[in-house]
Amino acid sequence: MKLSWRKFGIGLGGALTLLAVTGSKAFAQEEGPSSAELAVAIDTMFLLIAGALVFFMQAGFAMLTAGLTQAKNTTNILFKNLMDFVMCSIAFWAVGWGLAYGDSAGGFIGTSQFFLTSAGGDGVPVYVSWFFQVVFAGTAATIVAGAMAERTKFTAYLVYSFIITLFIYPVVVHWVWSGAGWLNTYSGSTDGNWGFTDFAGSTVVHSVGGWAALMGAIILGPRLGRFGSDGKPKSIPGHSMALAALGTFILWLGWFGFNPGSQLAISSQGNADAVALVIVTTNLAAAAGGLGALFTAWFRSGKPDLGQTMNGVLGGLVAITAGCAYVNPISAILIGFLAGPLVVFGAEWLEKAKIDDPVGAVPVHLINGAWGTIAVGLFASAPGNTGTLGLFFGGGATLLMAQVVGIIAIGAWTALLAGAMFLAIKATIGLRVSKEEELSGLDVGEHGSVAYPDFVPGTASVPAAD
């Protein structure tokens, strides 16, 4: 077959290309690779595809955030979303991965594997594991863009996105997912296998992003005009529901990599069963979250609201992320459904506190991240893949306590560090653009251009193209 020839052609005479050719020929001879090698191949492909889906969530966040903010700031917000993953890729390669998965210093921080210099031996390649992890780091980072949108300096945002993926987020990963972290052995259980439970990152990824988003939004202060002189909130509508809806669909799709991929393997009956459960609970929680937000917002405002419903879907997805492998489908629907009102009321609470979160990142990621993590302590029902049960399934409060401790510890760490970082940025290079720039739009002020030059602007503050 020509295709094995292709590798033969482009190869440099190395062992690998010969292996590929030999492998191809072997197919016809009914002598294939070993079962262990096939398992490695399957799991490598699984992480590659799941990671690619999670990467695509960057596009989802970019479209959602751009759609829910004003046309005059579109280039700026897209730029920040793009730079999130650019900075993250470099920071997580150089330092972040090592802090997360390097040899542990007292369960607090990793201390080796910087700059990805060791590629490991047989088994699922370290490189593909890095890829699957870097897209999670990028997710945590990009959550913040929406809450700080329409008023944050571009340079300040670059510094932030580098630091969160270099240090703040990786340390949390080490605590929970490294196998040596203090949080996942917190309770003193003798087998070291009990503790804080967050399957795919309701807290580790989403609440970390959400806490940073909250601190950023507080330290920045609200957008001009967001609260009237009488303190009354005034809605600033986003400029394209089409982009926002596209972003929501892309994020929902990406979650089919985010959660199932977090099983990290599929090459056994047990892994395949777990992955299949995860995809069902993930999808049902998303749908139920949409319903919950739809009904809540409809009841409160008298109209069905697309923005709230989309955030309900996303809130349901965030909430199921911690427990998707541990709960049954009915529990998933309950967890997701409650995410809906949390999104709606969460946004109202923020408004009352005069905190301006243009896209609802805090209700979706922080509040529902916490809710989903607590829900594990309530609904974990061991459908074949967990030993400790939640409160509602006869497990007592042990797991629930561990969840609360983890939420508090990770929240305190992230809020303190992110807060200190944003204050330091504010005191040095500055965190917020000038009043004039905010009014005329960050696209003109920061980048000297506009996102939609061919369209007559709908607000006086969006200038025509030069």
Residues within window 5-24 making contact with a copy of itself, judged by CB under 8 A: 5-17, 19-20, 23-24
DSSP classification of residue 279: H
Query: Which region among 207-215, 283-291, 349-357, 429-437 touches a copy of itself (by CB under 8 A)?
Result: 283-291
Q: What dihedral do alpha carbons 137, 140, 143, 145 form, nearest 10°?
A: -60
Query: With respect to a copy of itself, which residue has the nearer C-beta, 214 or 388?
Result: 388
Among 108, 114, 125, 227, binds a copy of itself (CB under 8 A): 125
Q: Which of residues 86-105 bind a copy of itself (CB under 8 A)?
A: 86-90, 93, 101
Shortest distance in whole angstroms from residue 420 CB to a copy of itself: 26
305 binds a copy of itself (CB under 8 A): yes
Q: Which of residues 22-41 bind a copy of itself (CB under 8 A)?
A: 23-24, 26-41
140 binds a copy of itself (CB under 8 A): no
Query: With respect to a copy of itself, which residue has the nearer C-beta, 55 or 371?
Result: 55
Q: Collapse the DSSP code of 359 into the 3-class scheme (helix H, G, I; strand E, B; otherwise coil) and give the result.
A: coil
Q: Which of residues 380-439 bind a copy of itself (CB under 8 A)?
A: 380, 382-388, 399
Per DSSP, which regions of 24-65 are E strands? none
150 binds a copy of itself (CB under 8 A): no
Shortest distance in whole angstroms from residue 171 CB to a copy of itself: 14
Shortest distance in whole angstroms from residue 446 CB to a copy of itself: 7
Q: Which of residues 309-348 bind a copy of itself (CB under 8 A)?
A: 309-310, 313, 326, 329-330, 333
Among 64, 68, 72, 359, binds a copy of itself (CB under 8 A): 72
- The total of other beta-carbon atoms located within 10 Å of residue 126's CB is 16
CB 407 within 8 A of CB 373: yes
Among 64, 96, 129, 151, binds a copy of itself (CB under 8 A): 129
Across-strand partners of 432? 152
Chain position carrying tokens 């600033």:
236
Q: Say how far apart CA 60 and CA 308 lie, in whole Å.
A: 17
Q: Collapse the DSSP code of 452 into the 3-class scheme (helix H, G, I; strand E, B; otherwise coil) and give the result.
A: coil
Determine the angle formed by the axes of helices 35-67 and 241-261, rounding to 10 degrees.
160
Query: With respect to a copy of itself, which residue has the nearer C-beta, 106 or 237?
Result: 237
Query: With respect to a copy of itself, which residue has the nearer C-beta, 221 or 329?
Result: 329
Shortest distance in whole angstroms from residue 55 CB to a copy of itself: 6
Per DSSP, which regions of 97-204 are E strands? 104-105, 109-110
Query: With respect to a copy of itself, which residue has the nearer C-beta, 59 or 109?
Result: 59
Shortest distance in whole angstroms from residue 427 CB to a copy of itself: 22
Cβ neighbors of 117 (< 8 A, separation 6 or more) are: none
362 binds a copy of itself (CB under 8 A): no
Q: Say how far apart CA 18 and CA 16 lie, in whole Å.
A: 5
Query: Which region among 108-116, 142-150, 223-231, 420-428 touches a copy of itself (by CB under 8 A)?
Result: 108-116
**What is the phi-psi region of residue 357: left when phi exceeds 0, alpha when psi lies from -120 to 50, beta otherwise?**
beta
Rounded to 5 degrees, what are φ and ψ at 239? -95, -10
Task: Return the structure tokens found at 262.
Answer: 């977090």
Task: Return the structure tokens found at 221.
Answer: 């202060």
Q: Which of residues 218-277 bind a copy of itself (CB under 8 A)?
A: 235, 237-243, 245-246, 248-250, 252-253, 256-257, 260, 263-277
Q: Say how far apart CA 62 and CA 398 lie, in whole Å.
A: 39
Q: Are strands 104-105 and 109-110 parallel, antiparallel or unpaired?
A: antiparallel
Query: With respect to a copy of itself, which residue has the nearer C-beta, 385 or 440?
Result: 385
Among 303, 353, 427, 436, binds a copy of itself (CB under 8 A): 303
Q: Say how far apart CA 317 and CA 341 lie, in whole Å.
A: 14
52 binds a copy of itself (CB under 8 A): yes
Q: Work out the end-to-end distance of the chain between its first and last CA atoms, rounded to an integer number of angstroms.
A: 57
Query: With respect to a copy of itself, which residue has the nearer C-beta, 193 or 428?
Result: 193
Q: Say how far apart CA 77 and CA 69 lie, in whole Å.
A: 8
Among 396, 397, 434, 459, binds a copy of itself (CB under 8 A): 459
Chain position carrying tokens 């202060």:
221
> How many chain residues bind a copy of itself (CB under 8 A)?
187
